[in-house]
Amino acid sequence: MNILITGGTGFLGSALTKRLIDRGESITLLSREPEKAVKRFGNINGIKDLQAIENTASIQVIINLAGAPIFDAYWTAGRKQLIRASRIDLTNQLVALIARLDVKPELLISGSAIGFYGDQADIELTEQSTSVPDFSQQLCADWESSALS
């Protein structure tokens, strides 16, 4: 199976990428530093830009885990803009990639976050919980919306 992964060198993505490689899957990894990704994982196709993917490419699954780290800096206006762009803009680019591919992938998995529910302190959350409007809630809602377009 041919799998395109974004965020494949991050915390979750690196474990997933390694596991998929161990299963024998063919991996294309979008990375800001594709050479480092290839050195780290070995037998993958590292790319820096989605434009490197031809319209005739055969990709069965896209796994979107990319995004600037959330908890490594204060959420200034500029940082919030970077966090949003790193998730939503890339997801929009993936949707555009799918639209231009001759054969569409069978599956797009786009990560989101528990932030979808907003900051609710220590309340136990379930799939039925309602959200509280804040930055993280709006980010997740917009991110999921872009993946569904």
Instruction: Give the integer Cα–Cα distance in Å for 145 and 149.
Output: 6
Starting at the edge strand that comes first in sequence, how are the strands of the sheet with 61-64 ordered?
45-47, 26-30, 2-6, 61-64, 107-110
Residues 6-45: tens digit of each pLDDT: 999 988 999 999 999 999 999 999 999 999 999 999 999 9
Instruction: Give the integer Cα–Cα distance in Å for 61 and 4.
Output: 6
Residues 59-99: tens digit of each pLDDT: 999 999 998 888 888 989 999 999 999 999 999 999 999 99
Residues 91-136: tens digit of each pLDDT: 999 999 999 999 999 999 998 776 777 777 888 888 888 877 888 8
Residue scoring higher pLDDT (144 or 57): 57
Burial class of residue 38 (count of CB atoms within 10 Å of its CB; 0-12, 13-18, 19+):
middle
The whole-number pLDDT of residue 135 equals 87
The whole-number pLDDT of residue 133 equals 85
